[in-house]
Structure 1
Amino acid sequence: MLVEKNCSLQPYNTFGIMARAETLVHVRSVKDVQELRAFPPLASQPLFILGGGSNVVLTGDVQGVVVKVEIPGRRLVAETSDAWIVEVGAGENWHDTVAWTLAQGWPGLENLALIPGTVGAAPVQNIGAYGVELQDRFDSLDAIDLATGELFSLDAAQCGFGYRDSVFKHPPVETAEPGRPAWGMGLAGRAVITQVRFRLPKAWKPELGYLELERCAQEAGTGEPTAQQIFDWVCDIRRAKLPDPAVIGNAGSFFKNPTVTPEQCQDIIARDPKIVHYALPDGRIKLAAGWLIDACGWKGKTVGKAAVYEKQALVLVNRGHGTDSVTGGEVMTLAKAIQTSVYERFGIRLEPEPVVV
């Protein structure tokens, strides 16, 4: 367990926001997490769990203890007649893990290629892209209860996955009900994920439910692309329209795609026939948040060093660098202005994806 005091967090968030941690603790094993909990000067302080920093907006210095999860490891832990079960340490890079599974001949994660962040953060957000969500390939995970020090495992149902949502995004609710854990249905700030296991199907089939992937398949002249082809297409698509955080600071898609009823969608279509929308299995309609923002004229607009990316209105970016970087306040001022604009025109409230600290 490595402990640093008054440490800059700028290298540890993909937005490149300047902020400092009162205490930064690097954990690379279950033992490190247990030592952290057992060390009173640290365990008695508020804890903030940090993975790859790709889904966070820091609006100021972070008091208490920032726990940087860096647990490594990738291995095949089981094989059944219909799936490979792969276990990955929470600190492993997500995209590198996707590429690694394909290199082993275990497809299933290719639609999620090039999503920034770490493996441990993926279940928290229930990451998703191009017709696949993490929950579709999830088996189980291990975590440590920071209040009790106990190790525990959760399956998909216990994780409470939803659209960009999970039990790890909700605060604990203390309960004394028999058969239910003491933390109830919330684990935000209460647990550290240490390992995640994926169930990768042997009866694999390509997921081509998005127009961009269908177009790639048509151009390649195939209706049955390989997993590697889909991986390459997804990487090309994302690189063409999304900025590389190593070059331009950002936190990926800043707003969730909102869902509306068919009636609400028809009302919007009557006013804006070109609105991008997708039907969901439950009958609701998902709207493209980027299209809504673009329609309100925000693409390329700035507030201080914060800007709406000129190639994709769903992404907010850092137009500063180094000591002249964007502030979290500028990012959130821009985000709130966009929310107000979209609500005034469409009557829809956009919800941010990143965690605001």
Structure 2
Amino acid sequence: MLVEPNTPLQAHNSFGISAKALQLVRVRTEADVQAVLADAALRDVPKFVLGGGSNIVLTGDVKPLVLKVEIKGMRLVEETDKAWVVEAAAGEKWHDLVAWTLDNGWPGLENMALIPGSVGASPVQNIGAYGVELQDRFHSLDAIDLTTGQTFSLDAAQCAFGYRDSVFKHESSGQNGLGLAGKALITRVRFLLRKDWKPVLGYLDLERKMAETGISQPTAQQIFEWVCAIRQAKLPDPAIIGNAGSFFKNPTVTQDQCDDIIAREPKVVHYLLDDGRIKLAAGWLIDACGWKGKTVGNAGVYDKQALVLVNVGGKEHPCTGGEVMTLAKAIQTSVYERFGIRLEPEPVVV
């Protein structure tokens, strides 16, 4: 185990914000975590788990010990008559896992192609796109308790998945309150990919692809290619323009609330959920408030998709976390004043 002092993090966060970790340890095996917890100088210090850095906003240097997760490996764990169970280590890139499963003929993750970040971060956020969420394909995960060093596994129910939410985003509260925020490091994640696969095609962008191509029953590989094309057309590549992907969660409202908004804004983009509530497109709300292309310092709203905040200063003059959050709060205020909707940021602010 090597403790790296004053380590630059600009290359380790997709926004490209310039900051450093006062101390950083690269976690390449479970033993690296055990070594940290066995070290008297590190055992009790606050810790921050860093995966792909695609869902964070750094507002300054990171004072807790940064555990940079770099565990690698993907494998087929089990095959039954009904499904494949595949496992990926936490340090693998999410998109690499999606491509690997399809290359092996195991469909199910294709709607979530090109989501940035690591496999280990995917359950924390319960990532999702184009009608599929991680919880829909989740089997179980392994993690290490950062207090005791003990390993443990969780199934879907124990992860308490919600919309862009899980047990890993909450502090424990009360006698029975289960919260694992800051208390666990995910090492491996397993997925259940069913053999009776059916395409998930409910989103407008996918329906347009079906109409363009004349393909009404696309394969998983075709959906993968469509999703990649859609995302590449709409969203900036973090390697070129720093960003954290979708910055705000799509808000949900009741049918009455939606009817009230539609009466004022007939073109509002919305989707009916299974529980009867309505999901509104946060990007549409932001765009309607005139934010597309606006900037605060070197932080801006992407001119092709208002849901994405970007680093317009590049690597030479990167935006600060403060600029990003100032812009985000201004957007929240204007959306609330016009629509009565409170937007909630997706990224973790550090």
Opposite residue 293 of structure 2, the aligned amino acid is G
1:297-316 aligned at under 5 Å gives the runs: 297-316=290-309
Structure 2 residue corresponding to 1:321, chosen from 303, 314, 318: 314
SS in 1 for 2:33: helix
Q: Taking every aligned residue pair, what percent have the same amino acid on both sides? A: 73
Aligned twin of 2:28 = 28
Q: Report how far residue 38 of structure 1 moved.
A: 1.2
SS in 2 for 1:157: helix
Q: Report how far residue 36 of structure 1 moved.
A: 1.2
Opposite residue 122 of structure 1, the aligned amino acid is S
Q: Report how far residue 302 of structure 1 moved.
A: 0.2
1:114-125 aligned at under 5 Å gives the runs: 114-125=114-125
Cα distance in 1, alignment partners of residues 181 and 141 from structure 2: 15
The answer to which of 24-33 and 35-44 deviates more is 35-44
Structure 2 residue corresponding to 1:199, chosen from 188, 192, 202: 192
Aligned twin of 2:287 = 294
Opposite residue 192 of structure 1, the aligned amino acid is L
Q: Report how far residue 218 of structure 1 moved.
A: 2.1
Cα distance in 1, alignment partners of residues 157 and 81 from structure 2: 23
Checking the alignment, whether the CA contact within 8 Å between 1:2 and 1:27 is kept in structure 2 is no
Aligned twin of 1:164 = 164
SS in 1 for 2:233: helix
Aligned twin of 1:181 = none
CA offset digits 1:270-318 (Å, max 9, x no partner): 0000000000011100000000000000000000000000000000000
Opposite residue 296 of structure 2, the aligned amino acid is V
RMSD of aligned residue pairs (Cα, Å) = 0.9
Q: Report how far residue 224 of structure 1 moved.
A: 1.1
1:137-286 aligned at under 5 Å gives the runs: 137-173=137-173, 175=175, 184-286=177-279
Cα distance in 2, alignment partners of residues 27 and 172 from structure 1: 25
Per the normalisation by structure 1, the TM-score is: 0.97
Structure 1 residues without counterparts, runs of 5 or longer: 178-183
Opposite residue 82 of structure 2, the aligned amino acid is D
Opposite residue 209 of structure 1, the aligned amino acid is G
Cα distance in 2, alignment partners of residues 127 and 347 from structure 1: 26
Distance 1:293 1:139, change over 3 A: same
Cα distance in 2, alignment partners of residues 220 and 278 from structure 1: 24
Aligned twin of 1:99 = 99
Opposite residue 274 of structure 2, the aligned amino acid is P
**Structure 1 segments (4+ residues) deviating >4 Å:** none
Q: Report how far residue 324 of structure 1 moved.
A: 1.5
Aligned twin of 2:37 = 37
Structure 2 residues without counterparts, runs of 5 or longer: none
Opposite residue 25 of structure 2, the aligned amino acid is V
Opposite residue 149 of structure 1, the aligned amino acid is G
Checking the alignment, whether the CA contact within 8 Å between 1:125 and 1:166 is kept in structure 2 is yes
Q: Report how far residue 323 of structure 1 moved.
A: 4.2
Opposite residue 82 of structure 1, the aligned amino acid is K
Q: Report how far residue 162 of structure 1 moved.
A: 0.2
Checking the alignment, whether the CA contact within 8 Å between 1:18 and 1:323 is kept in structure 2 is no
Q: Report how far residue 43 of structure 1 moved.
A: 1.9
Number of residue equivalences: 350
Q: Report how far residue 320 of structure 1 moved.
A: 0.9
Opposite residue 135 of structure 2, the aligned amino acid is Q
Aligned twin of 1:350 = 343
Cα distance in 2, alignment partners of residues 166 and 96 from structure 1: 23
Aligned twin of 1:180 = none
CA offset digits 1:139-174 (Å, max 9, x no partner): 000000111111100000000000000000001236
SS in 1 for 2:41: helix
